[in-house]
A and B are shown apart, each in its own frame.
Chain A
Amino acid sequence: MWVMKEIKDFVGQFNASIALDASHIVRNRNRYYLLSKKLKHHVPESFFYAGSYLGAVKGASFFPSFLLLSMIAETKANKMVVDKKTAWLFICGRDIFKKGILEGNKLKKGDYTLILNEHNECLGFGKTTCNLSEEADANKVAVKNILDIGDFLRREKRQPERQQRSRRLQGRAGKPRKPTRK
């Protein structure tokens, strides 16, 4: 199943694999949802959102949900635990310095890794910029931020702007054109 390939490829980037029941995955526009048995059998598929949101495909890229990242974090995957201050800076969209990493110092350059806080809760993911075991400079960026849970707040901010823009565009489209004199 194509969708499973997309998800499997994404999960594979973390050197992990998760077991998902393909028959319970539903595509709705460009978004993928994993439905429980009860949801699958009881509710119509014309939903806007349902069950566990797994992620969306935009063009050739797969954009994971935080639920999917949490699922991956429960398996044996590339992950690193960061300290309190680094966790907060990461949520604010910042990259991770080597000195903030508490566990997971064996990753190599270009590896994708999940970022966990001291409570082992998944905050997002990033890509390592150097071989962590070899890097001596503690003040060097070690992981580039790709996605973090601060996105929930950014989305709320983005949404009204997007709506305003679409309303503006609709208004422009709906406005009769001025007659031009020839």
Chain B
Amino acid sequence: MYEPTNGSYKNRVCHSIFYAASRHQVLLAQPCSIPLMSGKPFFVNRYQKLGWTYKQVNPQQAIRINTMNAGRDDVVNRLQSLGIALEKIPFLQDGYWIRKSKFSVGATAEYLLGLYSIQEAAAQIPATLFAELEDKTVLDACASPGGKTVQLADIMNDSGVIVALELKKRKMFALANQLERSRVTNTAVYQMDAREASKMSMKFDCVLLDVPCSGNYVTDKGWFNKRSLKDVERNAGRQRQILAEAVEVTKEDGELVYATCSLEPEENELNIDWAIANLNVEVETINCHGEKGLTNVFGRELDHSIEKCRRIWPGQTQGFFVCKLRRQACG
């Protein structure tokens, strides 16, 4: 490294500049002591600490049969006659993996007639967790692109009422198209921020919260380069606001299903822990695909009931987190 020496004023200035520059070089050459809160090594290391070893996965495309429009076997036979090889997803009632298809499954007459929807396997889980949906008033708080809204309508056999909220107008066209294609008739769509749901002056029996999240590396190839811990924390904050508002509009003893496709505990277990402490809710037991929710996150002990949640690490499906909450009666 360059060492400054005594000399004239001019020399001293030059020396100090060279000294600073060389110091800077040394600093750059040395490994940075401040940890970077982004990048693949950072996140992979976090997953390791949470008990999961990172692996590159490529889940199969999946479809869900809209049983309100056609019989399950009928649709399967029709798709197989087109040369599409299907495999039943063991943990879903109406879900099938596409094992082989020479063309896009989004461009068949059966798809355009609303006989099935293209929906990732893990994303088919949340709507199935409500105990009873027929004739109920249901809120789908962050509805677009509408896969889960159509699934709710399918489970409800198009009875009752679904209120679907979406903030962005450009996404609402896709949502409306999805509803028309799937022949859903029990849904009303509003352009509204889920954090303002109480402005509707309605109370709901069931609330589906498929909240906007950071996503995961399985569905977004450049995920590690785009995301940082700061993004995750910002999203987690927004999710808590949505969660609080959703509890507000849920009837006493009503059910909420909270889901994200994020692997980050800030958006999942830590948010549920916050909800248990601050909102009038308790975690319900669910019986679905996935591992128990984490009750110890980076050394921090969480409420034990969080193990009733389900965390799905990437493998057969994308990464996912799902949890069922029940609003407790006041007082």
Contact = CB atoms under 8 A, between A and B. Distances in A.
Interface of A: 34, 36, 38-39, 42-44, 46-53, 65-67, 70, 87-88, 91, 117, 121, 123, 149-150, 152-153, 155-156, 159, 163
B112 A43 contact: no
A90 to B, nearest CB: 9
Nearest to B137: A42
Interface in B161-219: 161, 163, 170, 172-177, 179-181, 183, 185-191, 200, 202
Given A43-B161, A48-B172, A155 B177 contact: yes
B188 A51 contact: yes
B183 A70 contact: yes
- Interface size bucket, B side? 20 to 34
A149 B109 contact: yes
Query: Which of B183, B190, B200 has the most chain A CB atoms closer than 10 A to its own CB?
Result: B190
B173 A159 contact: yes
Contacts of A66: 180-181
Contacts of A155: 173, 177
A121 B69 CA distance: 11
B17 interface: no
Contact of B183 (A34, A47, A67, A87): A67
B107 interface: yes
Given A67-B180, A152-B112, A43 B185 contact: no
B20 interface: no
A38 B176 CA distance: 19
Interface string B126-169: 00000000000100000000000000000000001101000000
Contacts, number: 82
Nearest to A42: B161
A47 B107 contact: no
Query: Which of B112, B163, B177 has the most chain A CB atoms closer than 10 A to its own CB?
Result: B112
A121 B163 CA distance: 28
B185 A36 contact: yes
Contact of A149 (B113, B176, B189, B200): B113
B202 to A, nearest CB: 7
Given A67-B183, A117-B109, A43 B176 contact: no
Query: Which of A42, A152, A153 has the most chain B CB atoms closer than 10 A to its own CB?
Result: A152
Contacts of A46: 190
A68 to B, nearest CB: 10
B278 to A, nearest CB: 29
Nearest to A34: B185
A6 B172 CA distance: 26
A102 to B, nearest CB: 16
20 contacts: A38-B186, A39-B186, A44-B200, A46-B190, A47-B190, A48-B172, A49-B172, A49-B188, A49-B189, A50-B187, A51-B187, A53-B176, A66-B181, A91-B112, A117-B109, A121-B109, A121-B113, A123-B113, A149-B112, A150-B112
B109 A88 contact: yes
A123 B185 CA distance: 19
B217 to A, nearest CB: 25
B188 A87 contact: no
Contact of B112 (A36, A51, A153): A153
A47 B186 contact: no
Contacts of B160: 38
B109 A123 contact: yes
B163 A43 contact: yes
A150 B177 CA distance: 12
Contacts of A121: 109, 113
Ordered nearest first, which 8 A-B pairs have the shortest CB separation? A50-B188, A49-B176, A149-B112, A49-B189, A43-B188, A52-B185, A47-B188, A48-B189
A124 to B, nearest CB: 10
Contacts of A159: 170, 173-174
A52 B180 CA distance: 8
Nearest to A43: B188
Contacts of B188: 39, 43, 47, 49-51
